Amino acid sequence: MKMRRNQINHQNPSVIRLLILALPILLATIPSRTQERSPSSTDQAGFQAIVAPFVKTHCVRCHGPAKQEGTFRVDQHLKNEFVDPASKEKWSEVVNVLNSHEMPPEGEPQPKPEEVAKVVDWITEQMVRAELVRRDGQIVLRRLNRDEYRSTIRDLIGIDFDVAPFPLDPASGGFDNNGSALTMSPLLTELYLDAARKILDRTLVEGDQPPAIKWRFEIDSGDNNSNRKVYDKQNVIVNGGNNPVKDGFKVLHHDNWDKHLNARGYGLKHEGDYIIRIRAAGFVPKRDAVVESARKALQNRFDKQMQENPKAEKYHREQMERDLKHFATDRMYDYGSPRLKLIQNLGGQPKVLAEFDVDAPLEKPREYEVCARFTTEQAGLTIEYAYPIPRVLENFWFQGHDVFARPELYVDWFELEGPIHESWPPPSHRRLLGDTLPSKAKERETAKTLIARFLRSAYRRPVTAAEIDEKLKLFDLVRADSPSFVQAIKTPLIAAMASPHFLYLAEPVAHAARVRPTSTSSKTKPDANAREPRALQDHEFAARLSYFLWSSMPDDELNKLADN
């Protein structure tokens, strides 16, 4: 369940109801000082006052030492110990037979309804208490899963980071944010460290804005890999595939390995966000055209069948009529607009950037835009036809023939433009460093202020002077050998983003050792035998609430509430 924070306000009554329902769940997970967690804390007084008299009056005669109906003895099987699975199962059977009025049986004295209700309520209460006792009270330190990491980077720094290189989060109990399953490994640690470097390299920039390119690929110029065009002194393969050309448009009728449009074998000089622009249109045939194209194909099949086996004309004709009816009546031929799939190949790794309907008619082609991130690795773009028609007995054998009427995709050209920057330096850079760099004399002061502000947001809580000084020492350590302030400040920020304080949600220790003074000294020492849970602190609760509601870090409003 995910919601953005702008959905959560006083004008949304459904969200208020959700919060009302969710808060007991959240609060129930917070250990209470008054909550008894010892398995031995059974309700002996309630058992003697409520259950024992009822059992003696209505159960012992048939389920006691003298007689055991159904091999069930209340004195042996109904122990006042609900954490034992076998005993709990017997108590569950008692609740079921009492609720269904199966016991006591007909012909036996019947208890009053209020007596039965008291017994059932008491048993139910003990089963709930036993379940809480049975659960592990130790809270598992939980790291951010992939979606939470991506959302947190977006809200912390202001960029959308691709988390595909991270391994998939294992599901546990149907959830991908279960702390017990979100393990950490040396490989994942390296991936987090590498991700932090890439994020800050992308965020903090130096120098002038990179010049933008605008390459247009005219894909009707060739239909094989030998067709090359020069872009920025690079011989780029521009392949229009085995597709016909009509009025300058490549016409894609169906998908096949030799019908893809692509431009590949180039490298961009500057990493960044690029716009891919495609000029395209679509043609959607009517049902009459579908039936007519099917009739021709079916007639050709009929003629061949008659040549091979003229004696079976009756069966051949019945098959033809039956199949023709399929094309005339089946709803799969109520076509929609043709569909286009755009694939990016970066460093040898393909990635589907977008898949969308091309709803522009032939008389009014339009330009479709997709934004994608490119590095300086070897790159390529591919366009594929992506309108699937179910393959059934009646159509599978000629669905890929160009004569079969189906939605057609017309592509005129596609182009690559970028890197795109709405401003320079980018907003993510200004969020961290502002518009101007500090003078040499003020670098350390600026670094300390920046580190303190960043740690406060990244750790989702107030930070100590020692934590700030620790990261400031990293800045001091690398500054002398760094070419610039920007390069030096990345080191402490990378360390913060690889820290458990960022990667994990800070939670209280459920059974922390209390510290108490000794009888002979004013000094304190931990008492290992004294264990008690503590309540969540305000910022811990704010983080738990924000990751529950919108899967990201607390926003400014929630932080202010926690501060207060």
235 three-class SS: strand
- State residue 77 phi and psi, 5-degree precision: -95, -25
Among 13-27, 40-54, 324-338, which is the least confidently predicted range?
13-27
pLDDT band at 88, cuts 50/70/90? confident
Q: Rounded CA gap, 488 and 495, in Å?
A: 12
Instruction: Give 306's contacts (C-beta < 8 A, 6+ positions apart).
Output: 313, 316
Residue with the bigger pLDDT between 473 and 522: it is: 473
Cα torsion 102, 107, 112, 116: sign: negative
| Per-chain mean pLDDT for the chain | 86
Judged against a pLDDT cut of 60, whether residue 478 lies above it is answered with: yes
Measuring CA to CA, how many Å separate 409 from each of 256, 342, 414, 454? 14, 13, 14, 49
- What is residue 69's predicted lDDT score, i.e. its pLDDT? 76
* Residue 375 structure tokens: 């590095």
Residue 30 zone, left/alpha/beta (φ > 0; ψ -120 to 50; rest): beta
Q: What is the mean pLDDT of residues 300-329?
A: 95
pLDDT band at 44, cuts 50/70/90? confident
- What is residue 72's predicted lDDT score, i.e. its pLDDT? 79
Which one, of 38, 24, 21, lies nearest residue 129 by Cα?
38
- What is residue 61's predicted lDDT score, i.e. its pLDDT? 75
Q: Rounded CA gap, 419 and 414, in Å?
A: 16
- What is residue 387's predicted lDDT score, i.e. its pLDDT? 97
Tens of pLDDT, residues 154-196 = 999 999 999 988 999 888 878 888 887 888 889 999 999 999 9
pLDDT band at 461, cuts 50/70/90? very high
Q: Are 212 and 418 in contact (CB under 8 A)?
A: yes
DSSP state letters, 82-150: TTSHHHHHHHHHHHHHHHTT-SSPTTSPPPPHHHHHHHHHHHHHHHHHHHHHHS--SPPPEE--HHHHH
- What is residue 466's predicted lDDT score, i.e. its pLDDT? 96
Cα angle 167-168-172, degrees, rounded to a multiple of 5: 130
Query: In DSSP terms, which residues pair with 343 in a beta bridge?
Result: 352, 382
Tens of pLDDT, residues 106-135 = 778 888 888 888 888 988 888 888 877 666
- What is residue 40's predicted lDDT score, i.e. its pLDDT? 46
- What is residue 3's predicted lDDT score, i.e. its pLDDT? 45
- In which residue are the tokens 């602190």 written? 537
List the domain boundaries for the chain.
27-35+144-207+424-564, 44-134, 213-285+335-418
What beta strand segments (E) does 386-511 contain? 408-418, 504-505
Neighbour-count burial for 481-499, b at 16+ CB within 10 Å, e otherwise: eeeebbbbbbbbbbbbbbb
Long-range contacts of range 351-354, CB-CB < 8 Å, 24 or more positions apart?
351/164, 353/276
Cis peptide before 104 (omega within 30 of 0): yes
Judged against a pLDDT cut of 90, whether residue 13 lies above it is answered with: no
Of all residues in the chain, the percent with pLDDT exceeding 90 is 64
Q: What is the mean pLDDT of residues 295-305?
A: 94
Judged against a pLDDT cut of 90, whether residue 7 lies above it is answered with: no
- What is residue 244's predicted lDDT score, i.e. its pLDDT? 96
pTM greater than 0.75 (yes/no): no
Instruction: Give 500's contacts (C-beta < 8 A, 6+ positions apart).
Output: 141
Query: In DSSP terms, which residues pair with 230 in a beta bridge?
Result: 235
Amino acid at 85: P
Q: What is the mean pLDDT of residues 94-112?
A: 83
pLDDT band at 41, cuts 50/70/90? low
Q: Rounded CA gap, 18 and 562, in Å?
A: 21
320 three-class SS: helix
Q: What is the mean pLDDT of residues 449-454?
A: 96
Q: Assign a CATH topology to domain 213-285+335-418.
A: Jelly Rolls (2.60.120)
Of all residues in the chain, the percent with pLDDT exceeding 70 is 87
Q: What share of the chain is helix, strand, coil (3-state, %, to 5)?
A: 40, 20, 40
Q: Are 266 and 379 in contact (CB under 8 A)?
A: yes
- What is residue 519's predicted lDDT score, i.e. its pLDDT? 38
* Residue 133 structure tokens: 């006792």
Judged against a pLDDT cut of 60, whether residue 20 lies above it is answered with: no
pLDDT band at 75, cuts 50/70/90? confident
* Residue 305 structure tokens: 């069948």
Say if strands 272-283 and 261-267 run parallel, antiparallel, or are unpaired: unpaired
